[in-house]
Amino acid sequence: MLKRSARGLPAGRELCHHRPPPIDARLRADSQRDQILMIKLRSLLAALAVSLPLWALCACDRYADIKAELGPADLARFKRGVRLATPCWECHDITGTGVNVGPHLSELYGRQIGSLQSYGYSPGFREARWSWDARSLDIYLANPQGSMPGTTMVSPGMTDPRQRADLLFFLKHATRKR
Ligand code: HEC
């Protein structure tokens, strides 16, 4: 209900005029606002505390999920394979689907040789009709240029069969669909 003020101002002027609330009400409102802010801040911090280790895990160890499945002996083998595969990363995206100097190696086992549309293989690779498995990889990686004459993969072979076995163990796990 609009009333005319005592000073005789039109009622509309009264409406627009916000009287400041009494000081205790304002203080209460302020402290309520602070409390809400603190609650928001605390939940933000809690969310950060939970997600930071996850981020760190993803950023630092791309094989965390694989390692979690392996027993101690296999884990040691896998780690040796990771080290042996270091030079391969120069030319291959091993776990993703990027094209580099060489084709990516994602889902390598069971893949037909030279079959990625995204990559321009040497003629020998394009014409071959078999698929990659433990046996063909073992032969190829022992001596790339000797086993696939004309291949553009300029990489010295890995002559030690135990090292190849470790490398293949790593490749089998790291290149599988995840
Ligand atoms: C200097 C670069 C280079 C390095 C290092 C290298 N590769 Fe290659 N790789 C290539 C190229 C280029 C090709 C394509 C070969 C062709 O078309 O003849 C290839 C092809 C392959 C293929 C066949 C893929 C397909 O789609 O058929 C496999 C498997 C492979 N490399 C594994 C490896 C592994 C494992 C290592 C590490 C031990 C490695 N490569 C190191 C350049 C490299």
Residue 157: give its domain's CATH number. Answer: 1.10.760.10
Indicate whether 161 belongs to any domain. Answer: yes
Phi, psi of 131 (to 5 degrees): -115, 160
60, 90, 108 - which closes a domain: 60
112 beta partners: 131
Residue 66's pLDDT is what?
A: 97
| Whole-model pTM over 0.85 | no
How does pLDDT run across 92-107, given as a tens digit for each residue? 999 999 999 999 999 9
Q: Token pair for residue 73?
A: 């002996």
Residue nearest to atom 34 of ligand 1 (CA): 88
Residue nearest to atom 2 of ligand 1 (CA): 91
Provide the domain count of the chain: 2
Q: HSE on the CB side for 133, CA within 13 Å?
A: 5
Indicate whether 37 belongs to any domain. Answer: yes
Residue nearest to atom 35 of ligand 1 (CA): 88
- Shared-domain flag, residues 102 and 116: yes
Residue 19's pLDDT is what?
A: 75
- Shared-domain flag, residues 45 and 126: no
Q: How many helices (H) and strands (E) does the chain have?
A: 8, 0
- Shared-domain flag, residues 39 and 94: no
Confidence bin at 3 (pLDDT 50/70/90): low
Q: Do the Cβ atoms of 91 and 100 come closer than 8 Å?
A: yes
Does residue 2 surpass a pLDDT of 90?
no
Q: How far is the CA of 101 from the centre of ligand 1 (A)?
A: 8
Q: Which atom of ligand 1 is nearest to the CA of 84?
A: 38
- Shared-domain flag, residues 149 and 89: yes
40, 60, 80 - which closes a domain: 60
CA angle, corner 166, sides to 129 and 119, nearest 5? 35
3 state SS of 112: strand
- Shared-domain flag, residues 88 and 141: yes
Residue 13's pLDDT is what?
A: 53
Indicate whether 52 belongs to any domain. Answer: yes
Confidence bin at 69 (pLDDT 50/70/90): very high
Question: Is the beta carbon of 145 within 6 A of some atom in ligand 1?
Answer: no
Residue 11's pLDDT is what?
A: 52
Residue 7's pLDDT is what?
A: 54
Indicate whether 13 belongs to any domain. Answer: no
- Parent domain of 52: 20-60
- DSSP letter (8 states) at residue 131: B
How does pLDDT run across 127-159, given as a tens digit for each residue? 999 999 999 999 999 999 999 999 999 999 999
Residue entry with tokens 């079959």:
115
